[in-house]
Structure 1
Amino acid sequence: MKIGIDRRSLLLAGVMTAGCSSLPRRGGSRSDQRAFVRREGSRLMLGDQPYRFVGANMWYAAYLGADAPFGDRARLGRELDALAAMGVRNLRIMASAEEGPLRNSIKPGFRNATGVFNQTLLSGLDYALVEMGRRGIRAVLCLTNFWEWSGGMMTYLSYVDGGRFIDMNDPAHPWPAFANANASFYGSVRANTLYRDWIKALVTRTNKITGVGYHDDPTIMAWQLANEPRPAGDVAHADLPVFYRWVRETARFIKSLDANHLVSTGSEGLKGALEQPEIVLAEHAPSEIDYLTAHIWPNNWTWVDQNDLPGTSARGEALTADYVTKHIDLATRLGKPLIIEEFGYPRDRGSNDPAASTEYKDSFYGQIYSSALKSMREGGPIVGTNFWAWNGEARAQHPDYRFKEGDHQYMGDPPHEPQGWYGVFQGDSTIRTIVDHARAVAKLP
């Protein structure tokens, strides 16, 4: 039965009321709020207790936090309240966006080709961090992107290569041309000089609202080298020594500026490592990399067909289970924590409409959460999850569900994707699954 928006909102309120009674007090203790998350072997710790979390992706938090026509601070507060009520204690957000020529990249960006930094957007990040801290929500901050929707590595290359670039999904440059061209970023001294300028500016930034340096802000859990960095699009074009050196030296550079926070790669795991376990191990081996990450996209990877979920979901479930098991093994071999920091699934019948049901999506979330909880209970390496992604109260602005420049109804589905494809809306039954998992994690000793 299709549920109207008003009734869906009432259902959401009921879910939150049911879940919050068993969740820890919002924000935790004051001592917890002042403590930094740190790594001890294969665990993350907060004070003298293991740090385990239920999290989400909300790439657009700084955009909502901006005091500008493209921002919406009131909405940001409502979204953070909703997430906190669900038991979400960790958000992975973009702390970068490179403004340039690529199709479908978000505008405005945090920086442009001339090295001018967008102070309005940076102030939006300041504001978002303050509001997250007030609610006891920690942040993972991504420092660039392998993909085009926030500019990313290809835009950096265009800055230093005479404006030349390749658009993702350009018929003239079919896959894996974009990814292979992107791989030259890792060895480009000029592109990485600009990238490091941004890292230094951000890591050493002082929050204009609190007067606290980012490097001294415990609201930040970790810096992330990039969203989904891959060594290339295929093995033949992967210069692995250069890629490994980029990971190690960039992480070391961040640690030289900030000794308080964790550093992670942002890798998809095996999919981003060209299906080679040895690449995952080598990429995450440096001591400066504190934990492993894994992303799981059954529909994107053709494990399921969104137009035939009844007929393909079982296959997707089996491949997902195998993927999680392999990453638990890799993390165990390295003796480091593992975070499943992206996992996404379409709505029933592949719909982008928030009124569409989410039976198969809820089942997929339940599978991920069951695996994570089992690992946590058994002392395994999984310490947290971040679902992709929070759409909240946003709604697509156009009948074709496409994002157009000038739209400000940001949602978890980035500008290059159908708006509503993978995100969780207020009122979705998926929220019940998230709340139940958060309650179970909160009960762990």
Structure 2
Amino acid sequence: MNPTIDRRLLLGSAVLLAGCATMRGGDAAHRQFVRRDGMRLMTGDRRYRFVGANMWYAAYLGADAAYGNRARLIRELDALAALGVTNLRILASAEEGPLHHSIKPGFRTATTVNDALLGGLDFALAEMAKRNIRAVLYLTNFWEWSGGMMTYLSYVNGGRYIDVDDPAHPWPAFANFNAQFYGNDRAVGLYHDWVRALVTRSNGVTGIRYADDPTIMAWQLANEPRPAGDLAHAAPPQFHAWVQGTARLIKSLDPHHLVSTGSEGLMGALGQPEIVLAEHAIAEVDYLTAHIWPNNWEWVRQADLPGTHARGEALSQEYIDQHVGFARQLNKPLVIEEFGYPRDGGSNDPAMSTQYKDRFYRLIYAAVERDMAHGGPTAGTNFWAWNGEARAQHADFKFQPGDLQYMGDPPHEPQGWYGIFAGDTTTRIVADHAAAVARLPAPR
């Protein structure tokens, strides 16, 4: 344990506002924790189902700092609530370090903490509670855009790292290097310091301990943790030991909340069903997660969506069916917590149409509605991601240091590539799905 950072984290987390011990708004169901009962998520004696989004940047907008924009955060939350979105998946850590494409500022460095970003997360959770929107908070990242595991390794190995797009270290060198994290006690120790501090933090706006706040649905170990980049470099027992050790740590600090992995599912498990099943069979892991990326996985070609979309749709349906099967085998719920698709022609311009993206969203939502209607394990979805009113600040759609138009497309990706902008026709599909889910019976 690093005593300097641990002490600062805990001191920064200890602020309590007198007289704010209860939720400021929200209905009775929202004031109950989400819990697991076999393949079902529940609030009280009612089944909990949700339509969600990814909004990694919520704490950045919520920060009382030059890079924050609380007025915009409030507008975005209002827009999402109006669509029927009741769940947001949010970045709750970013490790500041040497990686070229990682967002700055971070929540932490090797020895310091960004109290403004923690305050931004406090503010975001307080505003979400007012709108009956729950949060899934992920605690680090396998990928470079928020620092993540590679940055933790650089903190303890003398500053060595690989950038994901370094031509001297082509894929899968980045992912294989990253896999060293799971067996590095010092790197995992720093990460666990962060987990302890955040899980035991008290919200400076509401005064509620995070561990006691039902606005949080789940803690998530990481965004898309993979055992390695290829099987030759994977050590599944070590990877699973990290999953179990971290999940047990969280449960020891906070028995009220769910814990999930953040896994892509089969694609993030090197195509090995046994890795997926072992990772999610761990008792402290409450539900299975799956991500679906047809363009990234070369199921479609964004330059030829008319000619490739049918194949992508067939493979996406197959992937959903596989993970519904895994969830049934594990007797645990399933959340499809990332899915994304490019705009027509592969454009990043919000003026471009979204005919094929809309088809993809309809496919995902129809599969979810069918499974929910038949009492299956699918509990909800989080589309990737909400761009809202943001617009790219540069003609090449690249994010530059100092840009403040945060959107769902993170800083290493073209701005506008996958996210949904306010006004997109895709928003109507989200709203229609939310209405359909709301009409489903909520069996006890």
TM-score range relative to shorter protein = over 0.9
- The yes-or-no answer on 1:352 pairing with 2:360 is no
Q: Match for 1:32: what amino acid?
A: A
RMSD: 0.9
Q: Deviations over 1:248-305 (max 9, x none)?
A: 1100000000001000000000000000001000000111000000000000000000
Give runs of aligned pairs for residues 15-414 of structure 1, distance below 5 A.
30-114=27-111, 116-414=112-410
Asked if structure 1 preserves the Cα contact closer than 8 Å seen for 2:36 and 2:42, the reply is yes
Shift of 1:172: 0.3
Q: Deviations over 1:137-180 (max 9, x none)?
A: 00000000000000000000000000000000110000000000
Aligned equivalents of 1:363 and 1:241: distance in 2?
39
Q: Match for 2:289: what amino acid?
A: T
TM-score, length-scaled by structure 2: 0.93
Aligned equivalents of 1:365 and 1:40: distance in 2?
28
Q: Is the partner of 2:123 in helix, strand or coil?
A: helix
Q: Match for 1:96: what amino acid?
A: S
Distance 1:72 1:127, change over 3 A: same
Aligned equivalents of 1:71 and 1:48: distance in 2?
39
Aligned equivalents of 2:97 and 2:336: distance in 1?
31
Aligned equivalents of 1:33 and 1:39: distance in 2?
15
Q: Which runs of 5+ in 2 are unaligned?
A: 1-23
Shift of 1:33: 2.1
Shift of 1:48: 1.3
Shift of 1:117: 1.1
Q: 1:436 aligns with which of 426, 432, 440?
A: 432
Q: Deviations over 1:384-418 (max 9, x none)?
A: 00000000000000000000000010000000000
Q: Is the partner of 2:267 in helix, strand or coil?
A: coil
Q: Match for 2:92: what amino acid?
A: A
Aligned equivalents of 1:237 and 1:95: distance in 2?
29
Aligned equivalents of 1:119 and 1:91: distance in 2?
22
Aligned equivalents of 1:233 and 1:33: distance in 2?
39
Q: Deviations over 1:37-85 (max 9, x none)?
A: 0000000001211000000000000000001110000000000000000
TM-score, length-scaled by structure 1: 0.93
Corresponding residue for residue 11 of structure 2: none
Aligned equivalents of 2:97 and 2:309: distance in 1?
39
Q: Deviations over 1:95-114 (max 9, x none)?
A: 00000000110000000012
Q: Deviations over 1:346-375 (max 9, x none)?
A: 000000000000000000000000000001
Shift of 1:28: 9.6
Shift of 1:436: 0.5
Aligned equivalents of 1:171 and 1:29: distance in 2?
50
Shift of 1:204: 0.2
Corresponding residue for residue 427 of structure 1: 423
Aligned equivalents of 2:422 and 2:127: distance in 1?
20
Q: Match for 1:269: what amino acid?
A: G
- Worse-superposed segment, 360-369 or 29-38: 29-38
Q: Match for 2:88: what amino acid?
A: L
Q: Match for 1:136: what amino acid?
A: N
Asked if structure 1 preserves the Cα contact closer than 8 Å seen for 2:26 and 2:131, the reply is no
Runs of 4+ that moved beyond 6 A: none
Shift of 1:30: 2.6
Q: Is the partner of 2:78 in helix, strand or coil?
A: helix
Aligned equivalents of 1:31 and 1:348: distance in 2?
42
What's the % identity of the aligned pairs? 72
Asked if structure 1 preserves the Cα contact closer than 8 Å seen for 2:399 and 2:414, the reply is yes
Q: Deviations over 1:83-138 (max 9, x none)?
A: 00000000000000000000110000000012x11100000000000000000000
Q: Match for 2:119: what amino acid?
A: S
Q: Deviations over 1:21-41 (max 9, x none)?
A: xxxxxx996311210000000
Q: Is the partner of 1:30 in helix, strand or coil?
A: coil
Aligned equivalents of 1:224 and 1:283: distance in 2?
13
Q: Deviations over 1:329-352 (max 9, x none)?
A: 111000000000000000000000
Q: Is the partner of 1:54 in helix, strand or coil?
A: strand
Q: Match for 2:293: what amino acid?
A: W
Corresponding residue for residue 11 of structure 1: none
Asked if structure 1 preserves the Cα contact closer than 8 Å seen for 2:26 and 2:130, the reply is no
Q: Match for 1:109: what amino acid?
A: G
Q: Is the partner of 1:384 in helix, strand or coil?
A: strand
Aligned equivalents of 2:100 and 2:370: distance in 1?
42
Q: Match for 2:208: what amino acid?
A: V
Q: Match for 1:371: what amino acid?
A: A
Distance 1:381 1:245, change over 3 A: same
Aligned equivalents of 1:224 and 1:60: distance in 2?
16
Shift of 1:210: 1.1
Aligned equivalents of 1:361 and 1:347: distance in 2?
6
